[in-house]
Copies of this chain bind each other. A is one copy, B any other.
Amino acid sequence: MKKIAVLTSGGDSPAMNAALRAITLSCGYHQLQCVGFYHGYNGLIDDQHVDMQNLNINSALQHGGTILKSARCHSMLSNEGVMQACNTLRKHDIDALIVIGGDGSLKGLQAIKQHWKRQVIGLPGTIDNDLNGTDNTIGFSTAVTTATHAIDKIRDTANAFERVFIVEVMGRHSGHIAFNVGIATGAEAIISFENFSKDQANIKVNEILKAIEKQASTHGSFLIILAENLWPGGAQALKESLNKQGQLNSAMCILGHIQRGGSPTPEDRNLATELGLASVDAILNSKDNIMIGKCSGTVVETTLNDVINTPKQLNTGWVNAHQEQLTYYLK
């Protein structure tokens, strides 16, 4: 009987539990053993493990976070750490390792593959949706939903006060969250990596001030969605620039970690379930060194190397549509 190990790593994302459930149930169906390691790669290094059949896996389906806990693991950046992780895999006689996480976690999986010759499979678990090889990552839908409903509330206040609000959303170094949330909330401006470079900051401030001026004559509020890690000085600096140059009283809000947790959307639960089942199938079919994603409605396998080295593009048609048609009245 094969023995499969699984862990969740890096920033947690909603529906990681749904993936763990699908993997556990599918292992039961195929009569495979399934061992979970806690705290990301740390649990592999320290050998903290659990028989997945012993966890209350069904109850976890509707909850955020991950019952295997997660962590960013600095030890995996050293050769010793990787060797220690491989030793634990050998000690338990593991046949295949499934890692659910983002970019850094999949790099860790590649490092393990260098020293451990059995099967490794990655699943895309990150709210940022910045992984090639899948249309959506596990957790992205929930993060966009949480941010959208939070900003709907801010819009209420912005409308009541006819006020300018800057809302900073997550996304690491890409605008997937910013653009999806911006269009869903009818943001008057979206500032993200795809339509902004740092040396344009002054130009952008002027552009936005002009748009705000036009807006003032029609309906009141003006909402700016700002991607994190983008504007020099962040949302606070943008607010200060707008207020100073435009003599405004704009406000700002950094949504922060509320975007990571919460009960996952059905979209995320179902994606996680499908990819979880597919990862066990892939192991049974002797697949190795791949990440499993879903593109255009179909389960797709991509080599870890291609996932990690090809940056994922945001559909620029989307970007242009927003810029031109939805905010045309600002021009």
Contact = CB atoms under 8 A, between A and B. Distances in A.
25 contacts: A8-B160, A12-B160, A28-B329, A29-B328, A39-B162, A56-B219, A59-B159, A63-B156, A66-B160, A69-B220, A70-B160, A70-B161, A71-B161, A145-B266, A148-B269, A150-B258, A153-B260, A154-B257, A155-B261, A157-B257, A180-B270, A183-B273, A252-B256, A253-B257, A277-B321
Contact of A25 (B151, B269, B326): B326
Contacts of A265: 145, 148, 265
A152 B324 contact: no
Q: What are the 7 tightest A-B residue pairs by CB atom distance, in nearest-first order?
A: A156-B261, A296-B296, A153-B261, A64-B156, A184-B266, A65-B156, A29-B328
Interface string A68-103: 011100000000000000000000000000000000
Contacts of A325: 22, 25-26, 29, 277
Contacts of A21: 186
Interface string A115-149: 00000000000000000000100000100111011
Interface in A14-30: 14, 21-22, 25-26, 28-29
A155 B257 CA distance: 9
A197 interface: no
Interface of A: 8, 11-12, 14, 21-22, 25-26, 28-29, 39, 56, 58-59, 61-66, 69-71, 135, 141, 144-146, 148-157, 159-162, 165, 180-181, 183-186, 219-220, 251-263, 265-267, 269-270, 273-274, 277, 295-297, 315, 318, 321, 324-326, 328-329
A5 to B, nearest CB: 19
Contact of A165 (B56, B183, B257, B329): B257
A61 B148 CA distance: 11
A144 to B, nearest CB: 5
A239 to B, nearest CB: 12
A22 to B, nearest CB: 7
Given A12-B160, A156-B65, A253-B257, A326 B180 contact: no
Contacts of A165: 257
Given A185-B62, A325-B25, A329-B28, A180 B266 contact: yes
A149 B328 contact: no
Contact of A321 (B145, B151, B274): B274
A159 B318 CA distance: 32
Contacts of A149: 263
Given A155-B62, A269-B184, A326-B22, A254 B254 contact: yes
A328 B297 contact: no
